[in-house]
Amino acid sequence: MNDSRGSSTTGLVLAFLAGAVSGAVVALLTAPRSGRETRDRIKDLARDAAGKTVRVQPALNGAYSRAAEAARRAFVEAFEPRTQDKGAPPGRSGH
């Protein structure tokens, strides 16, 4: 496999996220609000983010379990002996 492709994809995603966060910070800091309103808004956003991160771990665990089960099934199916098609010559699987 080519690791540089995965690395460049990861870099692209991280760059996108960094840009999104930077844009959000600039938007908050340049919005026409008082300092107190801006600080309150940031606190609210932080609380919301903290509440959402609590749900991330169970969701990741569930996704991991489903992916592992699908991979296990695919592995087993790939190595199961297949039944030969009727009328196909011996040694061929009907391709």
With CA atoms as reference, report the closest residue to 21 among 5, 42, 44.
Answer: 42
Domain ranges for the chain: 33-79
9 in the Ramachandran plot: left (φ > 0), alpha (ψ -120 to 50) or beta? alpha
* Residue 6: half-sphere exposure toward Cβ, Cα within 13 Å: 3
pTM above 0.85, yes or no: no
pLDDT of res. 1: 44
pLDDT tens, residue by residue, 36-78: 888 888 888 888 888 777 777 888 888 888 999 999 999 988 8
**Rounded distance between C-alpha atoms, residue 77 and residue 85, angstroms:** 17
Q: Are 28 and 38 in contact (CB under 8 A)?
A: yes
